[in-house]
Amino acid sequence: MNRTSRSVLSTLVVLVIVAALGFIYASPYIVLNRVKRAADARDAQTVNQYVDFPALRESLKEQVTALLTRRVDIQKSGNPLAIIGAMIGAAVVGPLVDSYATPDGVAAILNGIPPRGNPGEQPPRADDVPSADPPAAPAPGAATAQENAPQTPLEARQEAPKQPPMTTARYRGLNTFVVTYQHGAGDAKYSAIFHRDGLVSWKLVAVDLNG
């Protein structure tokens, strides 16, 4: 093999390595796009590939319970109404988790509509959700930013916001990828958390209602 051939081969090897590293880096953005489109289409089979529903259920349970605890803090209040409110809140958690640990719930979470801990709450129907485009993968090292149904006591569906949320996406360590949603500068943030599941595959495993 002459010098020219070795140079061409070396260049090809470098290009292949760079392309592979770029694909690995972009993999969570690709997965985010796939799972969001699948959830918006209520494609349960595809959603199941990219969502760890047992882990998501546990996260929803913890987060909603913490949300209700902050809302009605029994330890700081001897008010009987606060205790009653906490008991009602505890009854809210199970049905709410059941409704959000579904393709409907995943679609709501990935479109900027997190659970709020309201009695009888359910995610909006597919036709009511304004689709938010997921953030595209940047070049390595670059910052990423992108910016009603009738209710009954047993089915209080969330009203979808009029505009898609602003979203930011970033790695939080080698194996954790976080997408943060916010509708306005003064509004609360929340995050969807993905964990690596193999070299280039990721799964939605948790939400953080504190942003």
pLDDT at residue 154 is higher than 90: no
Q: Taking residues 114-121, what's their average pLDDT?
A: 85
pLDDT at 3: 75
Model pLDDT for residues 20-55, shown as the tens digit of each residue: 999 999 999 999 999 999 999 999 999 999 999 999
CA 61, CA 98: separation in Å to the nearest integer? 10
pLDDT at residue 153 is higher than 50: no
pLDDT at residue 129 is higher than 90: no
Q: Give the domain range for residue 45.
A: 3-208
Q: Taking residues 96-124, what's their average pLDDT?
A: 90
Q: Report the share of the chain in percent with pLDDT over 90.
A: 49
CA 123, CA 95: separation in Å to the nearest integer? 12
pLDDT at 109: 95
Taking the complete model, does pTM exceed 0.85, yes or no? no
Decide if 202 contacts 50 (C-beta within 8 A). Answer: yes
pLDDT at residue 107 is higher than 60: yes
pLDDT at residue 87 is higher than 60: no
Model pLDDT for residues 156-183, shown as the tens digit of each residue: 677 766 677 899 999 999 999 999 999 7
| Max avg pLDDT among 91-95, 119-123, 202-206 | 202-206
Integer-rounded Cα Rg, in Å, for the chain is: 21
Nearest C-alpha neighbor of 177 from the set 20, 17, 26, 22: 26
CA 18, CA 11: separation in Å to the nearest integer? 11
Total structural domains within the chain = 1
